[in-house]
Amino acid sequence: MINKIDHIAIAVNNLEASLETFRKILGYDESAFRIEEVASEKVRVGFITIGESKIELLEPLSDESPIAKFIAKNGEGMHHIALAADNLDAERVRLDAENITPLAPPKEGAGGKQIMFLHPKQTNRVLIEFAQKKK
């Protein structure tokens, strides 16, 4: 079951500068931000919690990062919307019945969550991520 928007992700060139921009916009203290690296995706991630959801800022760590390629093609900006899912396996079965195919099997993402993406060609040009907390 999908139960909320987990986060909205924004691709950025400079994580620290972007976090500072959002600090000013939101009026938050720097202690509200969390930064981690996701080596498998070649990104540094900055999380800003707003209520039950987050803004996720994605900075590429190499030119081979999918985020670097996204920025080179589209510039900085909105990358994807992540939906919190209770059970990715059940969502895969449900989506298959709807003829919607995930880009790849679930894998580990930021925050230790299991994640799975849907191709924008199947979702009105919006990259959709399903995210499940570790059990």
Cα–Cα dist 58/78, whole Å: 10
Tally the domains of the chain. Answer: 1
pLDDT computed for residue 134 by the predictor: 82
pLDDT computed for residue 111 by the predictor: 86
Phi/psi at 103 (5° precision): -65, -35
Cα–Cα dist 13/52, whole Å: 26
Q: What is the domain-level CATH number for residue 19?
A: 3.10.180.10
Structural domain for 124, as ranges: 2-132
pTM, full prediction: 0.90
pLDDT digit string, tens, across residues 7-38 = 999 999 999 999 999 999 999 877 788 999 99
Angle at 15 between CA 108 and CA 28, to 5 degrees: 100
Cα–Cα dist 79/9, whole Å: 5
Query: Quick one: average pLDDT of 111-128?
Result: 94
